[in-house]
Structure 1
């Protein structure tokens, strides 16, 4: 006699990947790709950093860099790499880096949930 075993298949819940420390929008990645292509150096990466200054205490900075430091967090999107040093990541965790081209001009914009105060131009903040 063979017994038919009944099996229950419940959906398995796979652990999801941790959320990205920074949201790097398609618009920002596409603009970085365009700028890197114009420079003719595919090794360039966009470095985003926070430094003291500005009217609110801290300010954002952007630069191109070929070097990835040991403490950098890197993200890739649309063929470009975003770099953030460990100190800056503390202030930028959960932020969105976007590129806007509108009536106010064309610029990279950071929407930072950690900022308690931002200045009128948006380039300076406090926590």
Structure 2
């Protein structure tokens, strides 16, 4: 009877050992997949951050150009007002262009703010993702 119980215990132990080995293999496989996904995510985040920085640089250049254009348009508007009534239509057109340039500048400011926020969030995401490295 004791030998039979010992044999049954040995069989259960062997079965449990196989199940544990299968669980370990499954966990290892899932961990490898997770590491692969994390690596891809890191690459995508790095690419996104680089693109955000590049876009922010370009938006900065656009902003500087817009300020320059706005300044030049103001000069054009001033000199146009001094001309005869025949050039009044030109002055009004320049004022509309100036208003559009200022509106464009405001839009660029908003876009720059969004890009800076995205860049910050990209850094935050990179920090979060870096916590998952093994």
The two structures have a TM-score, normalised by structure 2, of 0.21
Larger RCO, structures 1/2 (Cα 8 Å, 6+ apart): 2
Name the larger-Rg structure. Answer: 2
- Bigger strand share: 1
- Bigger helix share: 2
The two structures have a TM-score, normalised by structure 1, of 0.22
